Amino acid sequence: MILEYLIFLGLGCITGVIAGLLGVGGGTIVVPTMIYFLTAYGAESDLIMKMALGTSFATIVVTSLSSVVAHNKKGSVMWRLVFFMGIGSAIGVGLGGAIVSKLSNTTLQVIFCIFLAYTITNMIFTASKPEAAEPIQLGPGPYTGMGALIGFVASFVGIGGGVLTVPILSKVGHKMKNAIGSSSALGAILAFFGALAAIANGWGESNLPDGSFGYVYLPAFIGLSLSSIVFAPLGAKLVYILPVKRIRQIFAIFLTIILINFLYKMYTG
């Protein structure tokens, strides 16, 4: 058990930096890692992906909060926008979570891989796209709808929605730094409701590993959360040092490594 905590503490350092730098909660690291760990642990195959998603959401709540504090100090969080998108994301992740609880482990893994491939492609083709001078003026309705879509998709892949939120906000003309800062805040809201859904849907489930709280694996949640709180501010500082193009390239490279490793494990597993 001690070794488990040490492993997840180390992983949380990486997750925290990525969360602060890219405006994501680190789910793209947590989900594959949890799959590898739970497989080696001998967990029930049909529960592995559901537990990976649930644990990822619980961790993202803490990681995103740490990240958003750092971004808010820089004035990069658009709170009015986050409010309306947060309402939509809560609805979307709740609906998606109910569907996820009924899907097979293989189906969820395939969805995760497809989503990563899409995200990588999107970031590569927009890496050199210049930022807009002014954002498009949109009302509460469109932002609430965006949040609902992001929350629904995020429920299937266990992320805070940053890989969707950042490109979408950039697309409508918001500066990259504002998109990343606001994504961190939205990620905390989305992940909170995602974690609640995972706990509720997994409550009373038989054959869960020791230390489970619904579909949340507590040793991983505690270890990841403790270290990511410390390292998320470091990633947030890098946002104001690295150029926009470089941030997008880092995002694409990082996700490509995760996808290749994940596909290899699926193929050889």
CA–CA separation, 78 and 51 (whole Å): 32
Residue 144: predicted pLDDT: 95
Mean of the per-residue pLDDT values of the chain:
82
Q: Lowest mean pLDDT: which of 68-82, 172-186, 242-256?
A: 242-256
What number is the average pLDDT over the span 254-258?
79
Is residue 69 over pLDDT 80?
Answer: yes
CA distance 71 to 76: 6
- Which of 154-163, 168-177, 192-201 is least confident? 154-163
| 193-244: pLDDT as tens digits | 999 999 999 998 888 888 899 999 998 898 888 888 888 778 778 777 877 6
Q: Is the pLDDT of residue 189 over 80?
A: yes
Q: What is the pLDDT of residues 101-156, one digit of tens each?
A: 888 888 888 888 888 888 788 777 765 555 555 677 788 899 999 999 999 988 88
pLDDT of 70 > 90? The answer is: no
In this structure, of 27-31, 52-56, 154-158, the range with the lowest mean pLDDT score is: 27-31
CA 229, distance to chain mean position in Å, is 15
Q: Are 164 and 116 in contact (CB under 8 A)?
A: no
Please report the pLDDT score of residue 130 as a whole number. 57
Q: Does position 25 have pLDDT exceeding 90, yes or no?
A: no
Q: How far is CA 166 from CA 118, 122, 142, 216, in A?
A: 14, 11, 16, 26
Q: pLDDT tier at 24 (50, 70, 90 boundaries)?
A: low
Average pLDDT over residues 41-63: 87
Give pLDDT tens digits for 90-116: 999 999 988 988 888 888 888 888 888
On the question of pLDDT at 76 being above 90, the answer is no
C-alpha distances in angstroms, 17 versus 33, 94, 205, 211, 234? 16, 28, 34, 27, 6
Q: Which residues pair with 217 in a beta bridge?
A: 212
